[in-house]
């Protein structure tokens, strides 16, 4: 038991270090937001969900024993995610700001508040810890399933342009550390979700290795101009013609057609004369 406890501490410390790096990974994104003074197309969902997750795990850790390392990293995570959400709210446009506030009220205030009230008043002792652990387990599984959207995009486009490979690597290593931490503590709620996290992490790295050197095929477009087409601007109206102008156009058309017929008949007559002369000479 003592050896298992020592190894659990080692994996817990390593998990803290890796998770610390993962929590700091959005800094370049918020640096861009700060420089441009706008959130542009970025979403607040990942940061609100991460904040909610940290709060859940802290609550669970306080209901268990020997989970100090779980409290330390999630306390840091809650702090850094609060900063991220605050910066997002400051620089986001009105619509994105309103949506973020709604999500905060729904998850952090409503969801987390409801979990505390229900577990504190309806459950006691060990059962309370088990219920909160199951909630953390289910929520963590949902979080680990989220990268399936990126996996689907990579397979569909055969491009890893939008796959953050370094983040995937760190998340995979983090999943390994926290899996062994939970396993050595014999806590299935900590160990189980990280199995799925490890599987999805490996899958992302395999896809990155498969598609990182592939480029999108260049499509050659051959444009054939068959008939000239005159495009008129919709805003410009065609001027109306008078009756005299219409009659002149019709006469001109007749003259052009008759000219073509006369030219053709003249050519035929000349050709006939040449044939007749050649026959007489022969």
Q: What share of the chain is helix, strand, coil (3-state, %, to 5)?
A: 80, 0, 20
pTM exceeds 0.75, yes or no = no
The residue among 217 and 55 whose pLDDT is bigger is: 55
177 plus 258 within the same structural domain: no
61 plus 181 within the same structural domain: yes
**pLDDT for residue 219:** 44
Per-residue pLDDT at 218 exceeds 70: no
List the domain range (segments joined by +) for residue 275: 241-282
104 plus 29 within the same structural domain: yes
197 plus 279 within the same structural domain: no
CA distance 112 to 136: 11
| Total domains in the fold of the chain | 2
Domain boundary among 158, 193, 211: 211
CA distance 117 to 121: 6
Tell me the CA distances in angstroms from 47 to 81, 83, 188, 226, one per residue in order. 6, 10, 26, 56
184 plus 280 within the same structural domain: no
Is residue 275 one of the residues assigned to a domain?
A: yes
**pLDDT for residue 274:** 57
The residue among 155 and 278 whose pLDDT is bigger is: 155
Is residue 68 one of the residues assigned to a domain?
A: yes
11 plus 105 within the same structural domain: yes
CA distance 163 to 181: 28
pLDDT tens for 120-160 read 999 988 899 999 999 998 888 877 776 677 777 788 888 87
pLDDT tens for 58-76 read 999 999 888 899 999 999 9
Average pLDDT over residues 77-101: 93
The residue among 247 and 127 whose pLDDT is bigger is: 127
Is residue 75 one of the residues assigned to a domain?
A: yes
252 plus 171 within the same structural domain: no
204 plus 271 within the same structural domain: no
44 plus 83 within the same structural domain: yes
Is residue 108 one of the residues assigned to a domain?
A: yes
pLDDT confidence bin for 223, thresholds 50/70/90: very low
pLDDT tens for 10-56 read 999 999 999 999 899 889 889 988 998 888 778 888 889 889 999 99
Domain boundary among 171, 189, 211: 211
Nearest to 190 by CA among 71, 48, 21: 71
204 plus 248 within the same structural domain: no
193 plus 258 within the same structural domain: no
Say which range, 114-118, 163-167, 215-219, has the weakest mean pLDDT.
Answer: 215-219
33 plus 132 within the same structural domain: yes
Quote the mean pLDDT of the chain: 79
**pLDDT for residue 228:** 47
Share above pLDDT 70 across residues of the chain, in percent, rounded to a whole number: 73
């Amino acid at each position: 038991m003592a050896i298992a406890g020592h190894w659990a501490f080692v994996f817990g410390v390593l998990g803290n270090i890796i998770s610390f790096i993962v929590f700091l990974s959005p800094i370049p994104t918020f640096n861009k937001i700060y420089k441009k003074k706008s959130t542009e197309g970025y979403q607040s969902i990942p940061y609100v969900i991460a904040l909610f997750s940290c709060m859940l795990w802290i609550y669970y850790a306080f209901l268990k024993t020997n989970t100090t390392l779980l409290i330390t990293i999630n306390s840091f995570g809650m702090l850094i995610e609060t900063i991220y959400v605050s910066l997002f709210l400051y620089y986001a446009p009105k619509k994105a700001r309103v949506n973020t506030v709604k999500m905060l009220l729904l998850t952090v205030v409503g969801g987390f508040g409801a979990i505390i009230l229900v577990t504190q008043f309806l459950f006691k002792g060990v059962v309370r810890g088990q219920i909160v652990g199951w909630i953390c387990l289910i929520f963590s599984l949902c979080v680990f399933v989220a990268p399936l959207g990126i996996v689907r995009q990579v397979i569909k486009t055969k491009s890893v342009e939008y796959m953050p490979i370094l983040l995937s690597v760190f998340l995979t290593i983090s999943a390994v550390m926290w899996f062994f931490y939970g396993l050595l503590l014999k806590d299935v709620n900590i160990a189980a979700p990280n199995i799925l996290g490890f599987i999805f992490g490996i899958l992302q790295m395999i896809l990155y290795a498969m598609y990182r050197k592939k480029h999108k095929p260049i499509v050659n477009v051959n444009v054939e101009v068959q008939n000239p087409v005159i495009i008129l601007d919709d805003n410009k109206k065609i001027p109306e013609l008078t009756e005299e102008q219409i009659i002149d156009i019709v006469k001109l058309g007749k003259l052009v057609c008759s000219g073509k017929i006369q030219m053709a008949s003249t050519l035929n007559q000349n050709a006939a004369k040449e044939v007749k002369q050649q026959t007489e000479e022969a």
